[in-house]
Amino acid sequence: MFNNYDFSGKKILIAEDERTNYLFLEALLKRTNAILIWAETGKTALEAVQKDSAIDLVLMDIKMPEMNGYEATHEIKKIRPQLPIIAQTAYALAGEKEKILSAGCDDYLSKPIMGKILLEKIDNYLNKK
């Protein structure tokens, strides 16, 4: 089963402008006991990292208002270079993966997000420390 991960005490920042997408991630991660923070723009995601040094991982949507996921990742990595950032993108364009990784993201997932793969990736980064 993929729903038996335990992320108790881990703080995950979810940068996602679409409420339905956030609710999907929340439902998926609720069972892991992770502490979730929701940022609806790249700018608020950056502000959350500036304010809270206890964030353990970021799920970063790429297409967001105010500041997109590339810019937000770039700025977050200036403050917290070791903070794992997993991008989520709906784009299936050639070169997208390279663009995401060169912005500083550690990993990426294509939408629609597969729950099993997302949890495996998160577990991999949270337990690497």
Binding site for Mg ion (CB under 5 A): 17, 61, 63-64
Supply the minimum distance, in Å, between the C-beta of residue 18 and Mg ion. Answer: 5
Quickly list H helices, the chain.
19-30, 42-51, 69-79, 96-102, 115-126
Nearer to Mg ion (CB atom), residue 5 or residue 21: 21
Supply the minimum distance, in Å, between the C-beta of residue 64 and Mg ion. Answer: 5
Integer Cα distance of 35 and 13 in angstroms: 9
Supply the minimum distance, in Å, between the C-beta of residue 113 and Mg ion. Answer: 12
Nearer to Mg ion (CB atom), residue 61 or residue 106: 61
Check: CB of residue 97 under 8 Å from CB of residue 106: no
User: How many residues does the structure list for the chain?
Assistant: 129
Residue number of the CB atom closest to Mg ion: 63
